Structure 1
Amino acid sequence: MSDAGRQSLTDKATAALKPDSEKTTTEHLGDKISGKADNAAGTLQPQGEKSYTQKVGDTFSGGHDATTNNNSSIVDKAKSALGLGDKA
């Protein structure tokens, strides 16, 4: 179960594992908005108030570090390795 205002791990995984070439423009936009909202919520939520699953999810998705340090998340690295990452 996810914390209020956060994406569930299932939603994150589903969005991350579907190849970008198979996503519609609406899906791309939704992923981008959802990802930014989730990262913002994760940044604002104190670490001590996060559920265990959200701590794990933040670790694997790069959490707020992905937006502040411009690092790739583990999922992004895996997608790139498989040739499924953004081409833009």
Structure 2
Amino acid sequence: MSDTARKDFTDKAQEKLTPESEKSTLDKAKEGVTDTADKVAGAVQPKGDKSITQSLSDSTSTEPGEESYLDTAKKTVGDAVEYVEKTATDVYNKVVESTSGK
């Protein structure tokens, strides 16, 4: 049993136990999509709202040192903001330079 919108832990276990050589391309693609959706759902679901089995499943499916999707998204947004600020500063400096007659 799993929480709403989460991948059932028995499905996860079965996928891990099935050798890659026995999986079709469609099976591998489906696993990739459902794994990603489950990780995103797990990242946004508050820990206090998770069932015991879902919490255990999440703790065993996250690899040590692995960055969560939420952390990755925060970093990506931060990088984008930094890029926009730098670009805006560069444009401003070029406008000032060209209007000052240098």
Answer whether TM exceeds 0.5 for this pair.
yes
Work out the percentage of aligned pairs sharing the same amino acid: 40
Structure 1: unaligned runs, 5 residues or longer: 70-88
- Distance in 2 of aligned mates of 1:18 and 1:66: 23
Number of residue pairs aligned between Structure 1 and Structure 2: 68
Aligned to 1:23: 23
CA distance in 2, matches of 1:6, 1:26: 20
Q: 1:67: how far off?
A: 5.1
CA radius of gyration, larger in: 2
Q: Choose between structure 1 and 2: higher helix proportion.
A: 2
Q: Normalization by structure 2: what TM-score? A: 0.62
With the length of structure 1 as denominator, give the TM-score of the two structures. 0.71
Q: Which residue of 2 aligns with 1:44?
A: 44
- 1:60 & 1:20 partners in 2: Cα distance? 20
Alpha-carbon displacement from aligned partner over 1:6-25 (angstroms, at most 9, x marks no partner): 01110000111101111000
Q: What root-mean-square deviation, in Å, do the aligned CA atoms of Structure 1 and Structure 2 show?
A: 1.9
2:6 maps to 1:2: no
Relative contact order (C-alpha < 8 Å, sep 6+): which is higher?
A: 1
| CA distances 1:10-62 after superposition (whole Å, capped 9, x unpaired) | 00001111011110000000000010000000000000000000000001111
Q: Evaluate the alpha carbon distance shift between residue 67 and residue 23 of structure 1 in structure 2; reply closer, same or farther with a 3 A threshold.
A: farther
